[in-house]
Amino acid sequence: MIEKMQGSRMDEQRCSFPPPLKTEEDYIPYPSVHEVLGREGPFPLILLPQFGGYWIEGTNHEITSIPETEPLQSPTTKVKLECNPTARIYRKHFLGKEHFNYYSLDTALGHLVFSLKYDVIGDQEHLRLLLRTKCRTYHDVIPISCLTEFPNVVQMAKLVCEDVNVDRFYPVLYPKASRLIVTFDEHVISNNFKFGVIYQKLGQTSEEELFSTNEESPAFVEFLEFLGQKVKLQDFKGFRGGLDVTHGQTGTESVYCNFRNKEIMFHVSTKLPYTEGDTQQDENTPFVPDMIASNFLHAYVVVQAEAGGPDCPLYKVSVTARDDVPFFGPPLPDPAVFRKGPEFQEFLLTKLINAEYACYKAEKFAKLEERTRAALLETLYEELHIHHTLVPPRLRGARCGAEISQCVQSHRQRDVRCDGMSPGLGVLSPGF
């Protein structure tokens, strides 16, 4: 009996172990580029590495006889630059308007900087709340009518992030604080970009072959002229993207573009032997993402020229990125074929910029960004705290929810006084 009980107890304690992690030997590999080239063409623009790790967008390039006037790009495609959605909120809704800034230190969340503002949207009163932590920025707009009682500052912070656990927030009493805050918020926005352009000839399948090429085919020259303007690097005054503009050690010329107030410098493999970046193909040889050994290259846009008429070449496009890079727009049309023209240039440059922003979300870059953000937020916190301590103690009384409530009441009174104005004067609403 005892043995039976012990046996059943042992059975209860047994558990199944998860299967062992798969190694490369456990996967059925994709065909190698040499295997594919041994078959009959045409070949895909991109070939996945044998053991994967990348996703592909734009695999259909089949085009039938299309009239010259018919657009190849989908008319529903929206060409939009993607960026951090909270980066410009402070500039748009707070900067130059009446609002309150606070700071505090949370044992778990770390340094906190909190901005809040009374807003009227339509006919309804709202609180606009913006909370910065070391991991992210929280933003919300709360209708005042939804609140049972007017919250204090700590309660307001909990409305946007329930993990906030502080006793109080300290008011920011520094006249130049808004400039410091907007600089922190917008540190993730870049107006300067550098992208690599690699020329891949027919049959080239290794990094050494790619970077040893210095001649340029007519189709590649035409593509570079389409991409931007050729500039002399000597004494170049725009964004140089790390290229040498003094001693000529990185070549004598490059390709530069100003797009939507953003400066782009291209590192062209035929002009700069050892560079890195996206890819352009001249012949139908598949590009394999791991062909170039790099821990930092995460996304590639592959472009292949196709004859589309004497004055209007066509370009096939495919995109590939590492698995931890999220999808980025604008989406490629189906088929992923474009006519040369300003629409394709706008699409391609937008795709490149969005690719860079998406790569920042990959694990390797996300950790770097997290450390950078935490360090910048700590610096902002310390700057605000130093100026807070310079203010005489009698003037440091923290603004609480009651004071903000008084601010709301004062706005309501001003709105009432405006009711008697003519429609023409009514647009001159009280300035914040």
- Which domains, and CATH codes, for the chain? 85-173+391-412 (3.30.1120.160), 192-361 (3.40.50.11210)
Q: pLDDT 10s digit of each residue in the chain, 432 long?
A: 444 444 544 444 444 444 444 454 555 556 555 555 556 556 667 777 766 788 888 888 787 655 454 555 544 456 788 888 899 999 999 999 999 999 999 999 999 999 999 988 888 889 999 999 999 999 999 998 888 888 899 999 999 999 999 999 999 988 889 999 999 999 999 899 999 888 887 777 667 777 777 788 888 899 999 999 999 999 999 998 888 889 888 888 999 999 999 999 998 888 875 544 444 545 556 565 555 656 677 888 989 888 766 677 889 999 988 888 999 989 999 899 999 999 999 999 999 999 999 988 888 888 989 999 999 999 999 999 988 776 666 555 544 444 555 555 555 454 434 333 322 222 222 222
Strands 262-268 and 314-322: unpaired
107: Cβ contacts below 8 Å, ≥ 6 apart:
165
Q: Residues 411-416: contacts with CB within 8 Å, 24+ apart? A: 411/118, 411/120, 412/125, 415/120
The token pair at 411 is 């706005």
Rounded (10°) CA dihedral 44, 50, 55, 57: 0
Are 361 and 326 in contact, with CB atoms under 8 Å apart? yes
What separation, in Å, do the N-terminal and C-terminal C-alpha atoms of the chain show? Answer: 84
What per-residue confidence (pLDDT) applies to 39?
A: 60
The token pair at 213 is 């090429």
The secondary structure of residue 250, as a DSSP letter, is T
What per-residue confidence (pLDDT) applies to 424?
A: 28
Strands annotated E in 10-78: 54-57
